[in-house]
C-alpha cells in the first residue's frame, strides 16, 4: 500500500479536525523552552538566567511527564490533560507577568522556579496521541496493524515538524512583537487546543487500568528504548548548540533556528516514508539499521567548516532521525502492556528531553573550549551510543515482542 493511501485510511478514522487539533496542541511544548529563554534573557539581561529558565522548563517537564502518563493509565487521559492544559496555560501567563514586573537588581531565580512550575504541567500530546491509535484502529473493524504502523509514522513526523515550527513561531512573534507575546501565544495554543484534545471523543477510547487488578510490570528491556531516546535527544541538543556557535562565528547568529530546522526537514520527510517499509523487516532490525545509519551520517560533522558545508550534512543526517524515533516508540507499543502504555510512552518522551538538555549543555561547554567542532563531536558520540544500544538490545526486544504477542493471543482466546 502506498504511503499516501495509508495516511488517507488513517485520517479517515478520526477526521482531519482531530489531526489538526492534536498537532497544534503539541506546539506549546516546543515553544515554551525557547520562549522562556528569550523572555527571561530579555527581562534580566542575562543569558545565564534565560538558559536556567529554559533548562528548568525542560527538565521539570521530563520528570513530571511520566508521572502524568502513568496517571492517564489509571484515571484516563481526559482529566489529566484538562488539568495540564489549564494549569500549564496559567503557568506560562504567570511567567510573563513575573518577567514584566522584574526590575534590574532583583534576583532572577524566582523566574526560574516559575518556568519550572509551568514545565511540570505541559502535556506530552504527541505521546498520548500515539496511545489512542490502537484502540481507534480496533474499533474501526479494519486491519489493525497497518493502521497503527501508519499512525506511528505520522506521529513521529508530526513531532519532528512541531519542534521545527514551534521555535520558528516563537522567533517570528518575538521579532514582530516581543518575547512576552511569543509565550502568551504558546499559552493560548495550550489553553485552546490542549483542552480540545483533552475533551475530544478519542480520549474516551483508551482503556483505563482497573485499580483492583494487580499492576502488570513494565518489561525490563524498555530500558533499551529509553536509553536510545536519551541518545537521540543528545543529538538534538548538541546539533543546536554546534549550529549556534558556527552561525555566530560566521556573523549570522540569526540563522541558528533555520539551520536546526534543516535537521527537521530531512527527518519529517523520512518519517512520513517509514510507513512504506515492508512488514518482513522486523522492528528490532529496523532500529539497528536506522541507528547505525544515524552514527555513519553524523561523521561528516567533523569536516564541517562553514554554514554552506553544514547545510547538506544536517539535511542528510535528519533522514535517519525520525525513522529511529518512530521505531523506538513503535517497539514500546509492541512490548508494553496496554494498561501501562501511557506511562511507558511518556517515559520515552522524558528521556528525549533529558537527552536534549544533556547534549546541549555538554556541547555548549565544549564549544566554549574549542568551538563548534567539539560540540558536533557530542552529536557523533550520541549517535554512536544509539547504534551500540540498539545492537546490544535487539535480541531482548525480539523476545519481548514475542512474549507480548503470546499474551495477547491468550487474552483473545479467554475472552
Query: Is the domain of 174 the same as that of 198?
Result: yes
The better pLDDT of the pair 364, 394 is held by 394
Instruction: Compute the distance between CA of residue 248 and CA of residue 364 in angstroms, rounded to an integer.
Output: 13
Query: Is the domain of 19 the same as that of 159?
Result: yes
Query: Is the domain of 197 the same as that of 225?
Result: no
- Per-residue pLDDT tens for 147-177? 888 898 899 889 888 887 887 788 788 878 8
Give the range among 26-30, 178-182, 249-253, 347-351 with minimum mean pLDDT: 249-253
CATH number of the domain within which 202 lies? 1.20.1250.20
Query: Is the domain of 333 the same as that of 275?
Result: yes
CA angle 130, 133, 136 (to 5 degrees): 155
- Per-residue pLDDT tens for 75-90? 999 999 999 999 999 9
Query: Is the domain of 187 the same as that of 272?
Result: no
Label residue 237 exposed, middle or buried (CB < 10 Å: 0-12, 13-18, 19+).
buried
Query: Is the domain of 350 the same as that of 256?
Result: yes
Query: Is the domain of 240 the same as that of 186?
Result: no
- Say what the alpha-carbon torsion angle 42, 47, 48, 52 is, to the nearest 10 degrees: 60
The better pLDDT of the pair 43, 143 is held by 43
Domain boundary, last residue among 207, 226, 254: 207
Residues for the chain: how many in total?
415
Query: Is the domain of 399 the same as that of 326?
Result: yes
Which residues 6+ apart lie within 8 Å of 404 measured at CB? 219, 334, 335, 336, 337
Query: Is the domain of 159 the same as that of 14?
Result: yes
Domain that holds residue 170: 1-207
Calculate mean pLDDT across residues 55-71: 89
Q: Is the pLDDT of residue 414 over 70?
A: no
Domain boundary, last residue among 186, 207, 228: 207
Please report the pLDDT score of residue 254 as a whole number.
66
* Other Cβ atoms within 10 Å of 110 Cβ, number: 11
Total domains present in the chain = 2
Please report the pLDDT score of residue 272 as a whole number.
86
Query: Is the domain of 69 the same as that of 187?
Result: yes
Mean confidence (pLDDT) of the chain: 88
Domain boundary, last residue among 160, 179, 207: 207
Query: Is the domain of 370 the same as that of 313?
Result: yes
Evaluate whether 154 touches 379 at the Cβ level (below 8 Å): no
Q: Is the pLDDT of residue 210 over 60?
A: no
- Per-residue pLDDT tens for 374-387? 999 999 999 999 99
Residue corresponding to grid cell 536510545: 228
At 354 the three-state DSSP class reads helix
Q: Is the pLDDT of residue 266 over 90?
A: no
Query: Is the domain of 394 the same as that of 275?
Result: yes
Amino acid at each position: 500500500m502506498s504511503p499516501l493511501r495509508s495516511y488517507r485510511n488513517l485520517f479517515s478514522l478520526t477526521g482531519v479536525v482531530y489531526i489538526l487539533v492534536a498537532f497544534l496542541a503539541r506546539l506549546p511544548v516546543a515553544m515554551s523552552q525557547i520562549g522562556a529563554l528569550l523572555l527571561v534573557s530579555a527581562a534580566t539581561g542575562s543569558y545565564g538566567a534565560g538558559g536556567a529558565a529554559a533548562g528548568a522548563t525542560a527538565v521539570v517537564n521530563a520528570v513530571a511527564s511520566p508521572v502524568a502518563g502513568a496517571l492517564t493509565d489509571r484515571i484516563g487521559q481526559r482529566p489529566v490533560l484538562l488539568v495540564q492544559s489549564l494549569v500549564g496555560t496559567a503557568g506560562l501567563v504567570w511567567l510573563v507577568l513575573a518577567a514584566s514586573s522584574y526590575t534590574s537588581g532583583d534576583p532572577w531565580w524566582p523566574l526560574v522556579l516559575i518556568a519550572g512550575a509551568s514545565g511540570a504541567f505541559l502535556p506530552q500530546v504527541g505521546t498520548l496521541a500515539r496511545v489512542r491509535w490502537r484502540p481507534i484502529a480496533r474499533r474501526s473493524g479494519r486491519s489493525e496493524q497497518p493502521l497503527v504502523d501508519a499512525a506511528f509514522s505520522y506521529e513521529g513526523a508530526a513531532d519532528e515538524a512541531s519542534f521545527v515550527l514551534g521555535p520558528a513561531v516563537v522567533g517570528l512573534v518575538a521579532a514582530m512583537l516581543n518575547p512576552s507575546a511569543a509565550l502568551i501565544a504558546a499559552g493560548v495554543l495550550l489553553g485552546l487546543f490542549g483542552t480540545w484534545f483533552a475533551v475530544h471523543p478519542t480520549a474516551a477510547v483508551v482503556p483505563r487500568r482497573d485499580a483492583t487488578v494487580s499492576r502488570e510490570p513494565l518489561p525490563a528491556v524498555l530500558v533499551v528504548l529509553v536509553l536510545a531516546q536519551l541518545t537521540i535527544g543528545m543529538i538534538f541538543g548538541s546539533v543546536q548548540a554546534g549550529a549556534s556557535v558556527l552561525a555566530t562565528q560566521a556573523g549570522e547568529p540569526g540563522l541558528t533556528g533555520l539551520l536546526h530546522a534543516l535537521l527537521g526537514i530531512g527527518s519529517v520527510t523520512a518519517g512520513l516514508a517509514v510507513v512504506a517499509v515492508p512488514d518482513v523487516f522486523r522492528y528490532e532490525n529496523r532500529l539497528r539499521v536506522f541507528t547505525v545509519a544515524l552514527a555513519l551520517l553524523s561523521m561528516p560533522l567533523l569536516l564541517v567548516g562553514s554554514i554552506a558545508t553544514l547545510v547538506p550534512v544536517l539535511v542528510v543526517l535528519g533522514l535517519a532521525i525520525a525513522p529511529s524515533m518512530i521505531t523506538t516508540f513503535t517497539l514500546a507499543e509492541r512490548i508494553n502492556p496496554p494498561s501501562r502504555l501511557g506511562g511507558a510512552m511518556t517515559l520515552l518522551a522524558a528521556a528525549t528531553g533529558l537527552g536534549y538538555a544533556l547534549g546541549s549543555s555538554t556541547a555548549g561547554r565544549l564549544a566554549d573550549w574549542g568551538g563548534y567542532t567539539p560540540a558536533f563531536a557530542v552529536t557523533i558520540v550520541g549517535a554512536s551510543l544509539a547504534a551500540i544500544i540498539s545492537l546490544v538490545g535487539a535480541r531482548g526486544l525480539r523476545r519481548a515482542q514475542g512474549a507480548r504477542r503470546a499474551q495477547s493471543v491468550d487474552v483473545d482466546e479467554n475472552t
